[in-house]
Structure 1
Amino acid sequence: MSFATLLIGITVGLPFALLLACFLAPARKHMLGILPYAPIPSLFAAILSVDAPALVLGNARIPVAFELDLPGAILLGASAILWIASACYAQKSLPPTVNPERFSVCWLMTLAGCMGVYLAADMVSFYGLLALLSVGASCLVMIESSPRSQTAAMIYLGIALFAETFLLLAFVLLASITPEHSLWIQDASAALADSSMRDLIIALLVLGFGIKAGLVPTHFFMPKAYSVAILPVAAVLSGAVIKASVLGLIRFLPEHIALPDWGMALAAIGLFGALYGVAIGLTQKDPKTILAYSSVSQMGFIIAILGMGIMVADEGSRLAAAFYAARHVVAKGGLFLAIGVIAATGLRRYWIVFTPVILVALSFAGLPLTGGGLAKSVTKDVMGDGLAYTIATLSSVASTLLMLHFIHQLKTTFANNPDAKSLSSQNGSWLILAIACLLLPVALIAYAPSHDLAKALEAYTLWAGLWPILVGICIALLVSRLPIRAPQISAGDIGHAVLNAFTHPTAAISTRVAKLDAALGQWPIAAMTLLSVVILFSIAFIFGN
């Protein structure tokens, strides 16, 4: 066994070994201090184990195999950084209502499932580890055991199981069409290209992974869960955990063949979600909920990248999607941790901590000379110059508005004591992710043979990333001077309304109608703008194709 393959084994095995050690009470008591070390092998594996020989633990019938391709390595490395930083943050920042031992067990369950899914090479391992990931993540959501967190965890787990039902059906069908009923993911993807059941299986895969990715209209579990989860949990859920669905689509959808219908569908749903997430996020006041809707928007854009590539069999789109997703891992995780840093910091240190927050936040809109700007430049070729590129540019303007709204709401959460200072572990964790948000995309572009870092820094490319942000800033300044009040929409929007409708049908309908009427009266310009965007999107998409 080569050293690179051994690293893959350690990456998968170490979280499981620590999880088993939790059966011993003395080990469990000290496990919180060990959590930051568990993801370290993943970081080395992401660098040294790309395309290494697979680690096979099973037999020819059920292989139980693990290997690492380039998209998986990109996401694994970014996720490892986030897991390490978030665990360091959690060590000194757990609320008194959280049991450290219980937290450690749930954390290791989620970590083991997450790293295992990134490395799984067969469908049995992939599905089993995905289920472990879902259970661990839902346990982390309700770690405080409050009524709100328990409700959010039930919704999170219910949606996860619903999505995994579609994936299980897809995997069974994939196993039936592969030569000798192989369970290897690579064999299943190759067999899917020429299968008579291709459209049915792709539909099941898109449904399963799309639901887990938070595509509209099944996105509501994200704001519900992220708004109640403690900050290190929200960071890993929004950054690392949800990217398993992206990697699933990258690995299972067939390569080398164009799928115009499916590509168009994914691109349309993704781009609509990119705008929808912003529209609802602008109505929120809680910084964590705003970031949750930002994740809905960003995940929509990532899926749109995959859709545009699948439409024309552009193999580079999968790497572009992984690249963009990796930048999102560290940036979104960093902003969640920044919420805690800001809340513990006094106004005397205002700009010291707030300046990097502003830079990371605006990187989501593609701010030049940041990781977000580089990520946007990589996706430009995939999005093309037509309708999709126009909508992607519009989403950059919209993301600017959302991030300025986040910054405005976050500014109100500084500590009351002007001299207050956050813990060194909090500052260190946040700064690690802020630096990674800038340096990781630079390193990836410098490493990738198909991308030129100098081209990404050309004046034309920088201006293409800057002007949508300037437009967004101008719109924000204009709107701030108008007597407009945003409607109050509960976190989870669609899901919240449906849940209430099932619980109290008559009362819910009448209450929603009354609130909708009041909201439309209080916010006429924004409501008409959102309606116009939806109508124009539909018309442009129909006639553009």
Structure 2
Amino acid sequence: MTGETLSPPLDLSALEPAMPALSEALMVVAIALPLVLAFAALVPAVRRALPHLLVFVPLPALIAALAVPRGLSMLVAPDPFRFTLALDAPGALLLGGASLLWMTAGTYAMAYLRKDPARPAFMVWWLLTMAGSFAVFLVADVASFYLAYALVSFSAYGLAAHDDTPQARRAGSLYLALTVLGEALLIAAFVMLASGATDANPQIRDAVALLPTSPWKTPVLVLILLGFILKMGLFPLHVWMPLAHSVAPVPGSAVLSGVVVKAGVIGLLRFLPEGVPLPGWGAMLCGAGLFTAYYGVAVGFTQTHPKRALAYSTVSQMGVVAAVIGAGVMNGTAGTFTVAALYAANHMLLKGAMFLAVGVAMASSPKRAWAVAALAGMLGLSLAGLPLTGGAMAKYAIKLIVPDGVAGTLLTLSAAGSTLLMARYALLVARSGTKGTPPLGVVVPALALAVLALVLPFALFEAVTGLPASAAFTPSALLKGLWPVALGLGGAALLAWRAPRMREVPAGDILNALGFLGTVGRAIMGGAVAADDVLRRWPVAAFALLAIAALLAATLTFAALPL
């Protein structure tokens, strides 16, 4: 397995002399374009034109993911305000997947929210979150990563709290409070991580290379793991995810689940050393991931709304990603991070398409909702690893990292749980139809994203693993992929025939179970709740977040100017 090279699939030999400059410009524009448009959205004329532009804004990021040579690094701004961009194989996979999701979900969002008076506010939050999500996949120095991570994290608040209902404000406040906690953990980790380097703002790879021998190794690893698994939604730090996903508008849920949580994934891939065995730390991450994978399924199956079921599915799937990363770190397996990125990118597209399908079904008649549920079920089976689907290719790839033993067996069995939960999700989609015909503006992007999600893993498999795609089609591989899915479908049929009485676990689950901590929780979130009244007025919120992004935007814009 190569796992490291992931060569660009485009033949750009005719442009080879200009490639370095073109590649650098693409990386800069990928981040700068949504930021500049977010600034420009303060002008009414630009704001009115934005709905027609959103589909095109992620194009530079998509082209960069396809065409920029892996390993290319560029210094955008020198010391003392060093800002460096680079693109490696994991970053390219996640950047490409994110750009496709932003394009399709952005088109969907403008049709879905066409009558929403708060649509301009949504567009600003959307652009800021997009800029931050592209930046976390591209930045290469410690300080810039923190700035990009803060941008995507805080901007996503506006997507979660957009509807301005009491439930949305509660979810947004909780998300904001946990985001502040995560940022505090990470900035402490980054300061200690950079303390051993000669530069005040070192390259991430240089700082991480010093980590195994650092006197701060233990506290840095604790803080890094806590900070990033909070964003990924691993138990017990997952509580924000079901609450936020269930109240956000459908396209907002799609990018929260598909893209925003991947900021935590890329954080682990950037700040954990690859190829250096860390047995204890890797085992802890793997164990936490496996527990989360099963916990998400167990709670998700009780849900009565398809968006909440999908939210707990994301909790479960991020547990799988964490388990793979942990197993690779535990053994020092080369290629782990690229394989984990492939699985995360596959989840990104599938989960985005499944959320968009919910919106299509909710705008459909009951009869049409069953047709949507059929497509949703196919996407769910791909996520579970049904042979001959794109998801099966991603499942096969992670088995190269965790092939046998207890962890490998538990990962395989988790596919049965995913199948069970996806069957539940498809049934809920089928029941969500009301009346009417969904507009083409939501149907077409949802279908386009579904097709991409089902097909792209086939195209990426060989580049990531170094194996031909046919390796996943041997009788042995097909059987290993089929039996967990068959087991899950059998369990779903049994439960449909004789369903036990189940009470729905409220979204946020352990927050409700730990009611005695309510006073403490209210005290912690008091500041966030107070800030919510101001943040809900989008021009103020936009200005505040644009101020956070100002240094980044100014640096990128200056760098893009001709000399």
Answer whether TM exceeds 0.5 for this pair: yes
* Alignment-derived partner of residue 232 in structure 2: 213
Asked if the contact 1:378–1:451 (Cα under 8 Å) also holds between the matched residues in 2, the reply is: no
Higher alpha-carbon deviation: 450-459 or 224-233? 450-459
**Pair 1:228–1:455, CA change in 2 (3 A):** same
Asked if the contact 2:104–2:449 (Cα under 8 Å) also holds between the matched residues in 1, the reply is: yes
Equivalent residue runs for 1:229-244 within 5 Å: 229-244=248-263
Q: 2:359 is matched by which residue type in structure 1?
A: G
For 1:30, what is the secondary structure of its paired residue? helix
Equivalent residue runs for 1:321-360 within 5 Å: 321-349=340-368, 352-360=371-379
Asked if the contact 2:292–2:315 (Cα under 8 Å) also holds between the matched residues in 1, the reply is: yes
For 1:215, what is the secondary structure of its paired residue? coil
1:394 is matched with which residue: 413, 429, 432? 413
Equivalent residue runs for 1:88-103 within 5 Å: 88-94=107-113, 96-103=115-122
Report Cα offsets for 1:313-363 as digits up to 9, x if no partner.
002111111000000000000000000111222345456433321110111
Report Cα offsets for 1:156-213 as digits up to 9, x if no partner.
1111111111110011011101134442111111111221221221111101101111
Asked if the contact 2:274–2:336 (Cα under 8 Å) also holds between the matched residues in 1, the reply is: no
Equivalent residue runs for 1:67-466 within 5 Å: 67-94=86-113, 96-349=115-368, 352-416=371-435, 420-448=436-464, 450-466=466-482
* Alignment-derived partner of residue 552 in structure 2: none
Per-residue deviation at 1:54? 2.5
Asked if the contact 2:297–2:417 (Cα under 8 Å) also holds between the matched residues in 1, the reply is: yes
Higher alpha-carbon deviation: 402-411 or 352-361? 352-361
Report Cα offsets for 1:232-278 as digits up to 9, x if no partner.
00000100111011111111111231000001000000000000000
**Pair 1:117–1:460, CA change in 2 (3 A):** same
Distance in 2 between residues matched to 1:198 and 1:413, nearest whole Å: 50
Per-residue deviation at 1:108? 0.9
* Alignment-derived partner of residue 522 in structure 1: none
Distance in 1 between residues matched to 2:147 and 2:499, nearest whole Å: 53
Q: TM-score, normalised by structure 2?
A: 0.86
* Alignment-derived partner of residue 481 in structure 1: 497
**Pair 1:52–1:468, CA change in 2 (3 A):** closer
Distance in 1 between residues matched to 2:430 and 2:520, nearest whole Å: 37
**Pair 1:23–1:95, CA change in 2 (3 A):** closer
* Alignment-derived partner of residue 532 in structure 1: none
* Alignment-derived partner of residue 509 in structure 1: none
Distance in 2 between residues matched to 1:335 and 1:149, nearest whole Å: 21
Distance in 2 between residues matched to 1:436 and 1:116, nearest whole Å: 23
Distance in 1 between residues matched to 2:443 and 2:199, nearest whole Å: 54
* Alignment-derived partner of residue 53 in structure 1: 72
For 1:55, what is the secondary structure of its paired residue? strand
For 2:195, what is the secondary structure of its paired residue? helix
Higher alpha-carbon deviation: 396-405 or 55-64? 55-64
Per-residue deviation at 1:95? 6.7
Asked if the contact 2:297–2:316 (Cα under 8 Å) also holds between the matched residues in 1, the reply is: yes
Distance in 1 between residues matched to 2:69 and 2:156, nearest whole Å: 27
For 1:384, what is the secondary structure of its paired residue? coil
Per-residue deviation at 1:366? 0.6
Distance in 1 between residues matched to 2:36 and 2:98, nearest whole Å: 20
Is 1:22 paired with 2:38? no
Asked if the contact 2:274–2:337 (Cα under 8 Å) also holds between the matched residues in 1, the reply is: no
Per-residue deviation at 1:96? 4.0
Asked if the contact 1:345–1:414 (Cα under 8 Å) also holds between the matched residues in 2, the reply is: yes
**Pair 1:182–1:193, CA change in 2 (3 A):** farther
Q: 1:49 is matched by which residue type in structure 2?
A: V
Q: 2:360 is matched by which residue type in structure 1?
A: V
Asked if the contact 2:366–2:430 (Cα under 8 Å) also holds between the matched residues in 1, the reply is: no
Distance in 2 between residues matched to 1:345 and 1:19, nearest whole Å: 33
Per-residue deviation at 1:125? 1.2
**Pair 1:440–1:500, CA change in 2 (3 A):** farther
* Alignment-derived partner of residue 496 in structure 1: 512
Q: 1:396 is matched by which residue type in structure 2?
A: A
Asked if the contact 1:4–1:52 (Cα under 8 Å) also holds between the matched residues in 2, the reply is: no
Asked if the contact 1:54–1:67 (Cα under 8 Å) also holds between the matched residues in 2, the reply is: yes
For 2:384, what is the secondary structure of its paired residue? coil
Asked if the contact 2:369–2:431 (Cα under 8 Å) also holds between the matched residues in 1, the reply is: no
Is 1:66 paired with 2:85? yes
Asked if the contact 1:278–1:293 (Cα under 8 Å) also holds between the matched residues in 2, the reply is: yes
Asked if the contact 2:368–2:433 (Cα under 8 Å) also holds between the matched residues in 1, the reply is: no
Q: 2:494 is matched by which residue type in structure 1?
A: L
For 2:281, what is the secondary structure of its paired residue? helix
Per-residue deviation at 1:407? 1.1
Per-residue deviation at 1:97? 4.5
2:57 is matched with which residue: 38, 52, 55? 38
For 1:456, what is the secondary structure of its paired residue? helix
For 2:72, what is the secondary structure of its paired residue? coil
Asked if the contact 1:286–1:409 (Cα under 8 Å) also holds between the matched residues in 2, the reply is: yes
Q: 2:459 is matched by which residue type in structure 1?
A: A
Q: 1:473 is matched by which residue type in structure 2?
A: L
Distance in 2 between residues matched to 1:18 and 1:421, nearest whole Å: 33
Per-residue deviation at 1:40? 1.0
Q: 1:394 is matched by which residue type in structure 2?
A: L
Asked if the contact 1:175–1:181 (Cα under 8 Å) also holds between the matched residues in 2, the reply is: yes
Report Cα offsets for 1:379-436 as digits up to 9, x if no partner.
11211210011111221111111111111111111233xxx32211211111111111
Distance in 2 between residues matched to 1:50 and 1:463, nearest whole Å: 37
Gaps (5+ residues) in structure 1?
506-545
Asked if the contact 1:5–1:52 (Cα under 8 Å) also holds between the matched residues in 2, the reply is: no
Q: 1:263 is matched by which residue type in structure 2?
A: G
Percent pairwise identity: 38
Aligned length: 502
Report Cα offsets for 1:487-525 as digits up to 9, x if no partner.
2211010123336741599xxxxxxxxxxxxxxxxxxxx
Distance in 1 between residues matched to 2:512 and 2:500, nearest whole Å: 25
